[in-house]
Amino acid sequence: MLAIFIKRVFMAIPVLLAVATMTFFLIKLAPGGPFDAEKAVSPQVLKNLNAVYNLDASEWEQYTDYMTGVIQGDFGPSFKYPGRSVTEMIASGLPITFELAMYAILIALVIGVLSGVLAALKRNTMLDFIPMAIAMIGICVPTFLMGPLLVLIFGIQLELLPVAGWGQLSGDKILPSITLGFAYAAYIARLSRGGMLEVLNQDFIRTARAKGLTERMVVIKHAMQGGLIPVVSFLGPAIAGLLAGSFVVETIFQIPGLGRFYVEAALNRDYTMILGTTIFFSAMIVFFNLISDLASLWLNPRSRDV
């Protein structure tokens, strides 16, 4: 397993290098620059600004300068927010995005696995149909609808929970976590139901039952280990996706996470911020995919020999 781990880490380096290089040159191709504004700056001012941010050097020179910085862990200064470095901004948003992602994944796992397993055990009964129908709705209803809907009910009508913010008012983390978690709960419910159904029909389950184990032991000890492998494989990309893709929930609930920086950087042509967040998210995706693959290997002995 260690060999696989080392091999995959080395494979990630050219991937990240390619991502950084392509992003660097692609953003330069996009029309408009970081200092374009409705109130145009004079050519003199633009020249000064380009000099300050080294944008008057050749593209190759800018690229090598940037990559040298990145290797040393310096993503450069943000163009949009003078006085702030990209590293600092990622560091400020990451813990919040991570916390939100963890709550969401926890909610998704509890709801998803419980209802999925239950649906598989009570196949073709109401306990199967109802959670699965809800799961289907969860997959179909986008977060930008679910979020405001929950806010309207719990925030504005019932006045029970704050409608926005993160860590400022008591209970303001509940609605965004549920909104984000619910969409993933739906996927996990369907995956765990499918996985469990497949495992429950296998011989070793029949053997376990024949040995006289209680149904609870059969399910928890034997069936779930194999039945939840699809969920584990899903979790890696899901966490990476949650880290990069919670922009909508962060915007609806006014959460100061990374997702907003990521999208706004592109709109602002904040070159260093775009590069920094892209490289960071790519690294996250590579990392969580690796973790999820390793977890699957550990859960499924058959694939270790492959």
Per-residue mark of binding to other proteins, 254-293 (x: CB under 8 A): xxxx--xx--x--xxx------------------------
**Cα dihedral value 8, 9, 12, 14, nearest 10:** -110
In contact, 34 and 80? CB cutoff 8 Å: yes
Instruction: Work out whether 133 is an interface residue with other proteins (CB under 8 A).
Output: no
Can you tell me which residue has the tokens 């290098």? 17
Q: How many CB atoms lie within 10 A of CB 119?
A: 25
Q: Which residues contact 244 (CB under 8 A, 6 or more apart)?
A: 258, 259, 262, 281, 284, 285
Q: What is the DSSP letter of 77?
A: B
Per-residue mark of binding to other proteins, 201-220 (x: CB under 8 A): --------------------
Amino acid (1-letter code) at residue 157? Q
Q: Which residues contact 73 (CB under 8 A, 6 or more apart)?
A: 87
Q: Which is nearer to other proteins, 205 or 249 (CB)?
A: 249
Nearest to 165 by CA among 257, 35, 77: 257
Per-residue mark of binding to other proteins, 93-122 (x: CB under 8 A): x----------------xx--xx--x----
Q: What is the DSSP letter of 304?
A: G
Give the nearest distance from C-beta 48 to other proteins in angstroms: 4
Q: Number of residues interacting with other proteins: please give it, by CB under 8 A.
A: 65
Q: How many CB atoms lie within 10 A of CB 38?
A: 4
Q: Which is nearer to other proteins, 178 or 286 (CB)?
A: 178
In contact, 232 and 295? CB cutoff 8 Å: yes
Give the nearest distance from C-beta 46 to other proteins in angstroms: 9
From the list 1-9, 229-237, 252-260, 276-284, the region that binds other proteins by CB under 8 A is: 252-260
Instruction: Work out whether 58 is an interface residue with other proteins (CB under 8 A).
Output: no
In the list 58, 72, 170, 201, the residue contacting other proteins (rule: CB under 8 A) is 170
d(CA 305, CA 295): 15
In contact, 273 and 260? CB cutoff 8 Å: no
Q: How far is CA 119 from CA 101, 113, 129, 147, 221, in A?
A: 26, 10, 7, 26, 18
- Where on the phi/psi map is residue 76: left (φ > 0), alpha (ψ -120 to 50), or beta? left
d(CA 142, CA 131): 18
In the list 136, 137, 160, 220, the residue contacting other proteins (rule: CB under 8 A) is 160
From the list 5-13, 135-143, 170-178, 234-242, the region that binds other proteins by CB under 8 A is: 170-178
Give the nearest distance from C-beta 105 to other proteins in angstroms: 16
Q: Which is nearer to other proteins, 19 or 151 (CB)?
A: 151
Instruction: Work out whether 221 is an interface residue with other proteins (CB under 8 A).
Output: no
Within residues 13-32, the interface with other proteins by CB under 8 A covers 30-32
Give the nearest distance from C-beta 248 to other proteins in angstroms: 10
Within residues 135-154, the interface with other proteins by CB under 8 A covers 148, 151-152
- Beta bridge mates, 85: 77
Question: Contact residues for other proteins (CB under 8 A)?
Answer: 30-33, 35-45, 48-49, 51-52, 77, 80-85, 89, 92-93, 110-111, 114-115, 118, 148, 151-152, 155-156, 159-166, 168-171, 174, 251-257, 260-261, 264, 267-269
